[in-house]
């Protein structure tokens, strides 16, 4: 039996960049925001119907958000949804580190 050599390539930390998706930083940011929204909904115990009503989304929009289908959502609209869930959105702008050649969007959730 011969051993097949498997080539391994280290990822960049952004799967969308690695897959050559257009605007990978924006798409990663939108994905993180959607994860935050879905986490807030899950932890609050809201039903899908109540959450959709609270967010003022129709069934198909809420399903798209829940499933990570984010092409029809802007970063701004996702910020608005977070605010509708009674959470604060805080934006911090800082210079990029010298060791990082590309600017990036970083999103964190403190809870």
Residue 60 — very low, low, confident or very high, per pLDDT cuts 50/70/90? very high
Could you identify the residue written with the tokens 């798409």? 27
Round to whole Å and give the CA distance between 65 and 52: 10
Average pLDDT, the chain: 87
What's the predicted TM-score (pTM) here?
Answer: 0.77
Residue extents of the structural domains in the chain: 16-84
Residue 80 — very low, low, confident or very high, per pLDDT cuts 50/70/90? very high
* Statement: residue 83 has pLDDT above 80: yes
Round to whole Å and give the CA distance between 25 and 17: 8
Comparing 72 with 99, the larger pLDDT belongs to 72
- 16-84: CATH topology is 434 Repressor (Amino-terminal Domain) (1.10.260)
Q: Which residues are within 8 A (CB) of 55 and not within 5 positions of it... i.e. 6 or more apart?
A: 37, 62, 65, 81, 84, 85
């Amino acid at each position: 039996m011969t051993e097949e050599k498997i080539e391994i390539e280290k990822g960049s930390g952004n799967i969308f960049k690695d897959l050559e998706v257009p605007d990978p930083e924006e798409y990663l940011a939108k994905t993180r925001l959607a994860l935050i929204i879905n986490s807030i909904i899950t932890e609050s115990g809201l039903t899908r119907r109540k959450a959709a009503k609270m967010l003022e989304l129709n069934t198909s929009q809420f399903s798209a958000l829940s499933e990570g289908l984010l092409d029809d959502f802007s970063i701004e609209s996702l910020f608005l949804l977070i605010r509708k869930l009674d959470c604060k959105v805080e934006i911090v702008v800082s210079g990029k580190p010298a060791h990082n050649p590309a600017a990036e969007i970083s999103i964190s959730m403190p809870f």
